[in-house]
Structure 1
Amino acid sequence: MTTPTGLAAAPSLQEIERARANVSQIAKITPIERSKALGAELGHEVFIKCENLQRTGAYKVRGAYTKLLSLTDEERAHGVVAASAGNHAQGVAMAARELGIKATIFMPIGVALPKLQATRRYGAEVVLEGDIFDRTLAAAKAFSAETGATFIPPYDDPRVIAGAGTIGLEILDQQPDVETVVVPIGGGGLISGVAAAVKQKAQLLGHRIRVVGVQSDRASSYLPSLEAGHPVTVPVHPSIADGIAVGRPGTLNFEIIRDLVDEIVTVRDEEIARAIVLMLERAKLVVEPAGAAAPAAILAGKVHSAGTTVAIASGGNIDPLLLQQIIQYGLVELSRYATISVMLPDRPGQLQIISEHVAGQDANVVEVLHTRHGKGFDIGAVELQISVETKGEEHLQQVLNSLREIGYDPQIVR
């Protein structure tokens, strides 16, 4: 994908600089941390831009505050409204509180409790409406039309984009030798702003920076849109990365991404889960699935860079129960947790034999299921399902081979 020099749709560097001055009143400059694990995968130094440590737990407050600050006194008096299941809700709610503006946030029925509580804590009035997000969005826009409240879009707005672009300026300040920036993409607000900032600033410095976008393969709208030459709508399939599960690019975002982003790749839920586990263990960072898309792409070998790379961890708002499930999922993908099924003759001592061989390979048994009932079982046979913790793929194969050597046929249960 080539990178034209056209910047007609993007906010100017001056606009992004002005946004940074304003954003500094509410957002903090988030740290940038070296990741040896990701660097080893890529073959060059990799740094993580930790927007998961931002106020409200995500970068969204930057764009929300920039947008709200631009409202007239009359618009402020009528309040603002937004529709969101997560980070945008909290960003708008906090920005509105700081500026003394009434905020009404429409959230879908069944939204995760921590996100609902956080949005209310920032002082917004929350309305639960719609069992799918499209209905929630329609209700918010109807409220805007009825009350005169200004609708605050999550990504398709020049000031929201400029606010997101402040992250790009911070990256260049913190890591001036950066050659590649990897950014998650949902609707495109974050990458539009970051690309506009780093491309224009790098041009002034005579330095070339590649921008790589990462979408979930469950909602990858940008690749077919770029191929078609205009935004197209794609089906959105269930994904752990709901924060970037957007079925159609933003109109303005599409134009900027088409002109300024060098490459777009996709990641699977399994790859995102692996990245979340790695970030927890190695970087000591809690990152939500959408926020882990950029590290996931590097870890999966889908990003190629000739030099220093920065991956943006865009948010860290994750329900603890979901995090528990993802950790389990990620450990399975890393072959550090597996459930092994073995068919055994129904006679005494078989369970002991299996347990001893697994323990002899230094694998930790977590759970055991022993049953005589199952479709296709031979008479006189039982199934043993044994869940084990291992040290990785090589160790898991060692456990399986040990069982094969004594005549069993172990199978991994997915």
Structure 2
Amino acid sequence: MNAQDLPTPTTTRPAPGKLLFEAPRRGKPPRHLADLSPADRKRAVTEFGLPGFRAAQLSKHYFERLVDDPAEWPDVPAALREQLYKTFFPRLMTPVREITCDGGTTRKTLWRLYDGALVESVLMRYPDRVTMCVSSQAGCGMNCPFCATGQAGLTRNLSTAEIVEQVVAGARELARGEVPGGPGRVSNVVFMGMGEPMANYKAVIDAVRRLTDPAPDGLGLSQRHITVSTVGLVPAIEKLTAERLNVTLAVSLHAPDDELRDELVPVNTRWKVGEVLGAAWDYAHTTKRRVSIEYALIRDINDQAWRADLLGKRLRGKLAHVNLIPLNPTPGSKWTASRPEDEDAFVRTLEAYGVPVTVRDTRGREIDGACGQLAAAG
């Protein structure tokens, strides 16, 4: 089936002030090898009527060798290859469009999923690392007014395999030398694409395990090189703390006071700033991992001196780092990035409180691939 033959997705948009914490019910994507734990793969292969060691072979070809053609499985009998491929590697996503900038080292891909839903992922190659920004939902139900994804509404959750496939696709491009800079590997994954990762908790955590399981069971990435973001779903942060993973937790805060955050991040009407940060400090205490505080600087909205002061007081002495994000433009938005002098003053105030702070690179902005710009327009 060609991409243009797939059905057009329906999108649920939240009414003003309403949040969608549950994805609309839709058919499940076909089961894929990446949906399964190593033990479940062995069980599935056995149920297929084959010895369990075939599961390890399939895992090696997918996660370690990064091949996507069963003809390149020399250790699997030719008579079995096609049927195993159809059973364990159904086509979940089809690339619709890839656009690049930074000499081809930043690449945004628009994917059409098996049911026609659209998502985007971004590969960013730096001299010392390659970061994949992946989507966890088609659209987003958090309704943050300054974010293009949030304004699109929520279509559905992605499956574990649909998340993993975004990374594997990037890994293949790198391994084949299709990204300028020669053959390479994905080193970092950030769950900062479309969607609220904590609203698709199980699939995201399972994806983290597939990405970090040692090869050939998974891609073998370091947990310390995985970042999972959230707008502040406190019960999910508490669940993540109990997992005792070594991933980085990123909290999209954007305002230090409840009055403004209620407007910028509507989930704040349910869990206030103090509750969100309290859950984040519990995560930091348990894991000894520094929490990343994401803060999009919006001109004359959240960049005032008194808000910088309040943020510094809230974060002083905590195991935290602030990522200041110059607001990236989105179509029709009434807001824009802070003035350079206000940005500099904000940084100086946080530093005066001893809070580590950096201003995030706006890489990918010209292809609408930067923070808050992913909209998956077909």
Shorter-chain TM-score tier? 0.3 to 0.5
Give the structure with the larger helix fraction: 1
Could you state the TM-score of these two structures normalised by the residue count of structure 2? 0.32
Larger radius of gyration: 1
